[in-house]
Structure 1
Amino acid sequence: MSIIPESNTRQVQTLNELSKRKVVEHNSLITSIAKMDKTPLKMFELAVSLIDTENPPKDQTVYLSKRELFAFFKVDDNDKHSRFKEAIEKMQKQAFFQIKKEQDKGYKFVSIVPIPYVEWTDYHDEVLIRFSPEIMPYLINLKTNFTQHALSEISELNSKYAVILYRWLSMNYNQYEHYSVKGGRREEQIERYRNPEISIGDLREMTDTISEYKDFRNFEKRILKNSVQEITNHTTFNVTYEKVKKGRSINSIIFHINKKQVADNSSYKLDDPVYIDDKIRQEESENELVLQAMDSPYTKLLMEQFLLSYLDLMDKKILAGLQKNVYPLYDDLKDLRGLNGVKEHLAYIKDKQDDYSKKNITKYLKKSIEQYLPIVKRQDIDHE
């Protein structure tokens, strides 16, 4: 019987622990300019994964294991300690985020050194990392406008540009998943999160390449193609892009993001904490949609017109679908015609209802209001 070396066992355990970690950051940090190369940026992500957003660390301090650090960077040579020291020094001397904030009639620029203090010894595994007070609001107590992604995906990316683009794509795809379940956005708005567009100027600014690769062909090859290929090969995203022209020049890029499917009976999915958390979050969001639908005046109106039955009220998918896909459109009609306008629309479509639409009530109501809203808007324009 072969015996697995203890060091290998510890490494596997460490990798398993890292695979469960998540990085949570405010969207302003995602879209900021990361003035650093890939090693400090990835090290920052690793340190952020140690923060419990609900219980912020005392004195902005977290403790990182050297063993975790070497496993994260896949370093196993004899020179790893000197390389670790070099990476720490580079992070402190060169790395900072430049955050752009809207203020008055223009923008305010803030530069933040994220980790000004690191302490370690050559005889102990523990590394003390202290974040700057200025960076902490972007990492804790995040209720809105934040992005969460798996640390293990960042570890697989080998270029700074791939890491930056992956964080930005995650920010958009997170919003796509959120609004797909929770509602509150029109269908075309939700799809834009899955197919986000960014101007070349903003993309150059975010990747800190305004003065580099000025020929677009070089920019596309080094920043776009290589990063998209890395992300597709090493993360759960399949990413493609298309170029949008304005005149003869490339004006913007539209990315198309799809999540790779894993078989439902896969032991990976059953053991993966990110997947489990996503399923829990989806169920919680669906329950929230159901509660919102039960309290909505539109549900009462649908019941009064006999477009919904009491059996429908027992179906979570119907209620969640109405709250997510139909009621935001009724809000638009209410803004144009008031609640009576919604009542009149429902009374009209009740007379047009057939057996097929009764079996697909959410689809029928959505299609009806989508056809009616443009007519109302045209009438208002003609009246004006």
Structure 2
Amino acid sequence: MRLETEKYDNRIREIKRDLHRHPEISFREYRTTRVIKQELESLGIELLDLKLDTGAVALLRGKKQGPLIALRADIDALQLKEETGAPDASENPGVMHGCGHDLHTASLLGAAMILSDMREELCANVLFIFQPAEEITAGAQLMLNHGLFEKYKPDMLFGIHNVPELPVGTAGVKLGALMSAKNNFSIKITGVGGHGALPHTTRDPIVCAASVINSVQSIVSRNVDPRDPAVLSVCSIHAGTQDNLIVDELTMTGSIRALSDGVMQTAIERLNDIVRSTAKAYGCGAEVMFNGGPPALVNDESMYRIAKTAAEKVLGPDGVMDIRPSMGSEDFAVFMKHVSGFFYFLGSGSRTRENYPWHSGRFQPDEDYLAIAAQLYAQSVLCSMQKPLSL
């Protein structure tokens, strides 16, 4: 079946390059959705209508009875200026596939090509999920709200994310927590504004905010067990218009990330306490709002065994390694609240040039990733059947 992957390799690369030239941000992936649907229809795979503007779901029916196995890829891009200078660089100014979702989409279409060629041998049905809006961690829940798992609820679900820090041809397969839960927050501090030359007549929210920012750094270092990973970041501050005006109000935003519910709850409580007590000390008012986010992504034991076997069949035992968890977040975890799932980290780093991280304008993963990811998606299906097959 590696020959079958080679048969489709050029087409998978063409799709990736086309998608990379035409990136679209979350919930605006209209052209991307058309490309996906056209490819699936050309393979004779049934499209399912969830009444969504973007994203796609399709069902491949195997010849023989067996489990329903879902494969998922995300399809959206970032608001980011591309600086790679690559021949297939973005033609949409200020928008870039800087996290590799073009790779994910093209490789899942590659898996659809492989598996559609094998449908007479499949003792399973395969649900292909092309999810919009992962970058804002909103697409998974929207698809569920539109009935994704009501008519076709998978027995198992697999997803893959490229990792430029891992060389192409390797995979990270982890049991347990792989990616963190996330909770976004917004803080509003209200004071009394006035002239910058008369600070004694004001209650300055900027000075108060500076103290808040310093104080909340103690949450992870002093309130969380150092053996439990957590991150609290203040990422934006909005206040002020002139150099001689003390403002009435300031807002700042950020996020808390943790691998366990207990740590997340501790961080939320301490953030609330610190913001409110600090604001009171400075004579200001404060409001803290939490916007929620995806839960921690946790690979379970039964799925781990299947995934590791699949990865070793594709890459060999030496190409598969246990890895440390990431403090990034993924709304694939939202799907995993409803079905058993597994999420792979698959190497996309070049062995011959410098590799830049996700969300960099110079992010440029190795295209050899594509065929490997397509094989890994397909092999995950084959290893999940009651009578497993190999590519």
TM-score (norm 2): 0.22
Normalised by the length of structure 1, the TM-score is 0.22
Point out the structure with the larger helix share: 1
